[in-house]
Chains A and B, each alone.
Chain A
């Protein structure tokens, strides 16, 4: 019963979603809309679950004095300060002074710094790993250099490089990406059918 009811629910709802896509009836459209509202509500609950999970993991680390437990204090402090600053009654909405200052002068510099660090690590990794060890590696190296070169002004040569870079992006890159996208699409469809027919049950957990 514990497994049959969720499996039946999944089958009925997914079958309905497939049917409504092909049958243009008002009643089905209304039901579809109704189910979409549910997804938003579930999303909100997922957010609460995420907050609970973060609290649970971080609190556990602090309690057990696990490795780097001090960072968990910072995580929880950040979580609650942002929540409180957004919820304090009388401050209206998220455009209040404290929340905006925390966003612009704490979150923005932190996130921008984290992303900027990529430039340094990528450069170091490129120096060490980007080697023409084989024909395929040489092709990758050549393509990478052409793509990077298109950002560099080189007078009349720039047009040739830009055309070559454009060709690499439009033809080999697009062909590979399309193949990946189609592959993902087919894979997602197969997984959806497996979930629908109860073959894939990992979402139910171990119990």
Chain B
């Protein structure tokens, strides 16, 4: 009896300190399998995302939207789906898109968005009249402060070195106040917070943002007074895609990137929750055993 009790206790203890590689395998499978099968999870759009969508939807044709690519490859899987969705919507609304980057790595991702979304899906959209890639400039928040006063001082040429004065859509741009909306992608620094503090608030320019799920709770306090809306992680992207599908029927039935990520994320979260609950059950079993053992020892 005594031996059996000891063996059982050892099993609980062993399970509590399970080899982490076993957890890794479960998480790996939970992430990969839904992605391999291309399973899609549709998300209902929440108000914080819907307000953002409605703001762009309400912009008149030819409105100027500044898209700042303030992220890198680390967060691109989460952020790129929201970038693609917003670029699609702006193109449908015939907004003029000004793309720039506060992060050096954002420059290449801007090019990727143009090549993979704008050019193939909106061939009528012309460089220089409908969209422009201004590229990366150093300076972080200092750059934003200069842009608020004099845009062309920092962006005298576009990403390919063309003089911006020769580009039609840059003719009437003097500073950030000439834009109808600023959208920053990326939750790091510099990013959404800096755009709010150094451009949105002092210039009274509407600012919206898309960031990783980890950064979203830090940015919620800025909504709704200082941010028109916020897309948080893959869920935010999937919600935006849902709003896009509802507004533009041509996207119906299309498996969009954010929605695909959501299924993978949902399954992996279930696995993590299972492990947390399992760990707690083991913890309580262990605790009750320890208590009864100490009581026995007390007698």
Contacts and interface: CB of A to CB of B under 8 A. Distances in A.
Partners in one complex: yes
Contacts of A133: 283
Contact of A43 (B73, B142, B221, B278): B142
Contact of B146 (A33, A100, A114, A174): A33
Contacts of A181: 221
Given A43-B142, A173-B220, A152 B266 contact: yes
B138 A177 contact: no
Contacts of A63: none
A8 B268 CA distance: 57
Contacts of B44: 162
Contacts of B63: none
Contacts of B76: 108, 112
A40 interface: yes
A119 B27 contact: yes
Contact of B23 (A114, A124, A132): A124
A162 B47 CA distance: 12
- Count class of interface residues, chain A: 35 or more
* Secondary structure dominating the interface of A: helix
A125 B195 CA distance: 34
B153 A37 contact: yes
A19 interface: no
A130 B277 CA distance: 9
A10 B259 CA distance: 52
A153 B75 CA distance: 24
Contacts, number: 138
Contacts of B276: 126-127, 130, 141, 144-145
A177 B269 contact: no
B46 interface: yes
Contact of B150 (A33, A111, A141, A151): A33
A135 to B, nearest CB: 14
B221 A174 contact: yes
Interface string B218-242: 1011000000000000010000000
A100 B108 contact: yes
B73 A111 contact: yes
Interface in B1-46: 17-18, 20, 23-24, 26-28, 31, 41, 44, 46
B178 interface: no
A132 B74 contact: no
A177 B143 contact: no
Q: Which of B77, B139, B278 has the most CB of A within 10 A?
A: B139
Contacts of A95: 111, 159-160
Contact of B74 (A115, A123, A130): A115
Interface string A89-101: 0001111000010
A119 B27 CA distance: 8
B142 A36 contact: yes
A47 interface: yes
A167 interface: no
Interface in A126-161: 126-128, 130-133, 141, 144-145, 148-153
Given A94-B159, A112-B73, A132-B283, 8 more contacts: A40-B142, A95-B111, A108-B76, A112-B74, A122-B272, A133-B283, A153-B41, A174-B221
30 contacts: A33-B149, A36-B145, A40-B138, A44-B138, A47-B138, A94-B108, A94-B159, A95-B111, A104-B112, A107-B105, A111-B72, A112-B73, A112-B76, A119-B27, A124-B20, A124-B23, A126-B279, A127-B23, A127-B279, A130-B276, A131-B283, A141-B280, A145-B273, A148-B272, A148-B273, A149-B269, A150-B235, A169-B220, A173-B220, A174-B220
